[in-house]
Amino acid sequence: FTRTTFKNVDSIFTSKLYGYKDVDDYYYRASCFHNIPNIKTPTLFMNALDDPVVGEACIDYDLFKNNENIAMATTKYGGHLGYGESHFSQKCWIVNPILKFLNGINGSIKDQN
């Protein structure tokens, strides 16, 4: 009996489906971590600390802190892509922080001109 884990699924299915050499090749090439130091455009990253796929243990805070073009925001709850305001609402809370970030960038650009 093989325990079902994300890595097992990615090893047997996902990495093969998308043509990667193996699961480690998939994890490296599909990840953004090696591109983060080179980001030149202001970028907002948002992550829920309880995300079962990319949780808190996956966040390299130093990598984000070392690039002045990046803002990293975390929420205590939200799971994976859990942006709904409640279980019964189709309204997404993530829109407001994104708009504030974009408005801040816009204001910064206007100040430079």
Query: Exposed e or buried b for every residue in 73-106, given b needs 16+ CB within 10 A?
Result: eebeebeeeeeeeeeeeeeeebeeeeeebeeeee
CA distance 92 to 101: 16
| Residue 112: band (very low, low, confident or very high) from pLDDT cuts 50, 70, 90 | low
Long-range Cβ contact pairs of 94-103 (< 8 A, separation 24 or more): 94/46, 97/44, 97/46, 97/73, 98/44, 101/42, 101/44, 101/71
- Is 90 exceeded by the pLDDT of residue 14? yes
So what's the pLDDT on residue 49? 92
- Which pTM was predicted? 0.73
**Count of beta carbons in the 10 Å neighbourhood of residue 52:** 9
Instruction: Give per-residue pLDDT as tens, 45-103.
Output: 999 999 988 889 989 999 999 999 999 999 998 888 888 888 788 888 888 999 999 99
Q: How many residues does the chain have?
A: 113
